[in-house]
Amino acid sequence: MTAETTTETTEEATDRPSVLFVCVHNAGRSQMAAAYLSHLAESRIEVRSAGSAPAESVNPAAVEAMAEEGIDISANQPKVLSDQAVKDSDVVITMGCGDACPFFPGKRYEDWKLEDPAGQGIEGVRPIRDDIKVRIQQLITELLPAGSTTN
């Protein structure tokens, strides 16, 4: 059954683009970006997020900021970055992970310069969230050209 599951996952991954968001703690920026992409792309893009040194939990201000947008990330858990996650992704978007992010030829890499929401209240996180949303909307137009089908 494991082999079947792996095969299905591999086939699904080839049917749609995949994006990995990486930041140090996987508790703020990458969580918000992954949530927006999942929400706005409506399953047309495979979404992952991870951190080079994951936190214990998602930043409460990030959870609150996304809740204001109608997106619930309260149950999300930070995940450790793996080479496999990078290999399995078409696009790798880093947000301050520095040299901790592995590099594999043939992948599209972007580094989004975003303020770290760690230690900030909701007032400080909202502009970061809004910046991420604009970037995600642009990414969707790049990865899903007009007229692409949903699956």
The catalytic site residues sit at 23, 97, 101
Please give the span between the terminal C-alpha atoms of the chain, in angstroms, as a whole number.
24
Main-chain dihedrals φ then ψ at residue 92, nearest 5 degrees: -120, 120
Q: Give the tokens for residue 119.
A: 């230690």
11 touches 40 (CB < 8 A):
no
21 touches 30 (CB < 8 A):
yes
CA-wise closest residue to 110 among 121, 123, 97: 97
95 touches 20 (CB < 8 A):
no
